[in-house]
């Protein structure tokens, strides 16, 4: 139950950050692919850098164990990514 409350609260902050970054808008998503507005890239990479620093520090301190890391299967990941990009550039989601 507590786990679900955590999920709900974290979800609210997740949605809030997406909204404030403008990632809920079509033109923001598609313009990153037109290379005219790199907000999506800046948003994603900042999130990555902050999260990976935090996670690796916490793991170094022994406070967390990593959950199951998404598995790597090169062809699947790449083909999935290639199809995903088409959908993303079309819909702007």
Task: Please report, as residue ranges, which positions from 56 to 75 form the binding site for other proteins (by CB under 8 A).
Answer: 58, 63-67, 69-74
Q: Which of residues 2-61 bind other proteins (CB under 8 A)?
A: 3-4, 6-22, 24-27, 30-35, 39-40, 42-52, 54-55, 58
In whole angstroms, the minimum distance from the beta carbon of 60 to other proteins comes to 13
Cβ distance 40 to 92 under 8 Å?
Answer: no
What SS3 state is found at 79?
helix
In whole angstroms, the minimum distance from the beta carbon of 40 to other proteins comes to 8
Write the CB contacts of 29 (distance below 8 Å, at least 6 apart in sequence): 23, 40, 88, 89, 92, 93
Give alpha helix (H) positions in 1-93: 2-21, 26-33, 39-60, 74-91
Minimum CB distance to other proteins smaller for 60 or for 72: 72
In whole angstroms, the minimum distance from the beta carbon of 57 to other proteins comes to 9
Contact between 1 and other proteins per CB under 8 A: no
């Amino acid at each position: 139950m507590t786990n679900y409350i955590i999920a709900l609260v974290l979800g609210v902050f997740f949605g809030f950050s997406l909204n404030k970054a403008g990632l809920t808008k079509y033109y923001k998503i598609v313009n990153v692919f037109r290379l005219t507005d790199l907000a999506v890239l800046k948003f994603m990479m900042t999130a990555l850098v902050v999260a990976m620093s935090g996670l690796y520090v916490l793991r170094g301190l022994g406070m967390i164990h990593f959950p199951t890391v998404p598995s790597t299967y090169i062809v699947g990941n790449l083909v999935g990514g290639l199809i995903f990009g088409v959908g993303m550039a079309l819909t702007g989601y």
